[in-house]
Each structure stands twice: as C-alpha cells, then as structure tokens.
Chain A
Amino acid sequence: MTPGEVQRAEEEVLDRARNGDREAFGDLVERYQDTVYTLAVRLVGPDLAADVAQEALLRAWRALPRFRGEAAFGTWLHRITVNTAWTLRKRARRHAVQPLEGDFEDGGLRPERAGELAEMRAGLGRALCALTPGQRAVVVLRDVYGWSNAETARELGITEVTAKVRLHRARLRLRTLLEGSR
C-alpha cells in the first residue's frame, strides 16, 4: 500500500466510525492505542496510564461526530489524551509513586534500540517521572512531542508565561537529576 492509499483507507475507517460503526472504531483503537498509551505514560506515569488511555479513547468515540479533520486524527487524539491526563491528575497525585529502576523497560519498550542510547533514554524516562506533574506535562509536550508553547499552554489551561517558566525549571531539574545519576 502506498502512503496515499493508507491515508484513504484510514479516512474511510474514520468516516465509518464517525457514523457510529463500532467495528471501525475498534480498528482505530488498535492502530492508535500504543501511541495514546505512550503519551499517557509520559504524562502521568505507568500506574495511571492505562486508565487515562481508556478514558481518552472513550471520549474520542463519543466526540467523533464533531471531528472535522482540521488536524490529523492522531493529533486530535493526543489533545484529548493530554486533557484527560490533566483532568485525572488529582487521581494521579493520589496514586503518586516514586519511579523504580526499569519502570519504562517493564512498560513494554520495543527492543529495537540497544546499548547506550536505550540506557540514556531509560534514564531520561526515570528523570521525567521525578518531575512534578505540571513540569513533566510541559516538558513532555514541548521537548518530547514538539508542541508549540501556545498549544501547550492552551491544552494545559495555563498561561504562556507559566508554560515557559515551568519548562525552564523542568529542564534545570532534569539536568540536575541526570547529572546526579551519573
């Protein structure tokens, strides 16, 4: 299948799901559940990520008739995931646990990268877990997923200045954590 054909096939599935076809939505869930879950893990940690991913996908189903395709479906889904993670953050705080060695490896990391790179990324993943939820959300959206400052601020319901300050503090803390772990 060419990329164009893949896109047309996805649009067709999306159309069916938008019109209430549950089976078609099942196909979309299968296609996007890993990326939604990964974003949830980055935002709230592995303990609450499955709940956030499930709730985000359910919200997406309910809202699907209003999806007009202004953004890619994946982007739309990511915005819903961020919002869901954020509204469930009180639960995240109640479930707060200190990150353990190997949290991310146990989370089902695909064994496609090895050695130093994987170790550095695992270290980064652990350091991210040690940030406050607010700092983590900003650094994940800005530096990991490349969102703009305006978009990040809007989705998290904070001002752009707050987003900038949080990002700066988060990077500083990450550097300290990574230097401390060496």
Chain B
Amino acid sequence: MRNPLCFFASRFPGEGPAFLARHRACCLRCQAAAARERSLRRALPGLADEVLVAPPGLQSGVLCRLGEQDAADPRRPLVVRAAARYAAAAGLVLATGLAFAAGLARRQSRALG
C-alpha cells in the first residue's frame, strides 16, 4: 500500500511543510518521482523546437479575409470590441437626438414668446 506521506508529498506544489520536506529527503519513492518530474521538465521545452507545418489553405484564407486595420486591442474579444463600437455609435445617435430636440424646443419657445 502507498505511504500516505508519499501521496501528500506529490500533491504539494513546491516544498510544502517541513515534515514533507524531511520525508522527501529520505524516501526513495519520492526521490524517484522527483527524478521523473525533472526528466519531464527537461523534455517539455524540446516540443517548442518542433514546428508543425500549417495547413496549405491557412495563408490564403487569412489574406482573403483581411478587413480594415483598426488598431484595436487584439486581446479584447471580438464581442467586447463590437459592443464598444455599438456603444460609441449609440452614444453619437443619442447626442445628436438630444441636440436636435434642444434645437426644436428653443425654436418653439421663441415662436411662443
């Protein structure tokens, strides 16, 4: 059966409490697990050197769909950007409407006075 200390030692990110550190220092099983973790961490960066070839239609697909450049934050989701644009447009419409109404009211009050 697995030693519960080995289980907790593997679940704790980093050093963890002192009693786990002491356990790790003298447990062969935990040391073997740590060695496996080290070799995994050595192997993973190797994946970054491997470059997959993009599908043939990717470049032409992108170039066909180029719209206008708007210098918008590329990391803001499209929906948020669209909402911001609509909000700006709605604000403009509202401001124009208010200005128009104010003009009408002024003209009416002048006609009455």
A123 to B78 CA separation, bound complex (whole angstroms):
36
Q: Mark B69-100, 1 if CB is under 8 A from A, else 0.
A: 11111110110000000000000000000000
Checking B13, B41, B50 against A38 with a beta-carbon cut-off of 8 angstroms, the contacting residue is: B50
Distance (whole angstroms) from the CB of B30 to the closest CB of chain A: 13
Given A41-B52, A125-B47, A178 and B40 contact (CB-CB distance below 8 Å): yes
Judge whether A14 is part of the interface by a CB distance below 8 angstroms: no
Judge whether A61 is part of the interface by a CB distance below 8 angstroms: yes
Q: Interface size bucket, A side?
A: 35 or more
B52 and A37 form a contact (CB under 8 A): yes
How many of B's residues come within 8 Å of A, CB to CB?
40
Checking A63, A66, A110, A124 against B43 with a beta-carbon cut-off of 8 angstroms, the contacting residue is: A124
Chain B interface main SS type: loop
Instruction: For A151, list chain B residues within 8 Å (CB).
Output: none
B53 and A26 form a contact (CB under 8 A): no
Checking B47, B59, B74 against A121 with a beta-carbon cut-off of 8 angstroms, the contacting residue is: B47
List the A residue with the shortest CB-CB distance to B53: A108
Instruction: For B40, list chain A residues within 8 Å (CB).
Output: 171, 174-175, 178
Distance (whole angstroms) from the CB of A160 to the closest CB of chain B: 12
Given A172-B10, A178-B40, A53 and B51 contact (CB-CB distance below 8 Å): no
Extra 19 A-B pairs, beta carbons < 8 Å, given A29-B62, A62-B67, A124-B43 = A29-B63, A30-B59, A36-B54, A37-B55, A38-B51, A50-B54, A54-B61, A57-B62, A62-B71, A62-B72, A66-B71, A79-B75, A110-B51, A124-B44, A125-B47, A128-B47, A143-B45, A172-B11, A178-B40
Jot down 13 A-B pairs with beta carbons below 8 A, ordered by A: A33-B59, A35-B51, A36-B54, A37-B52, A37-B58, A38-B52, A53-B58, A54-B62, A59-B74, A63-B70, A144-B47, A172-B11, A175-B40
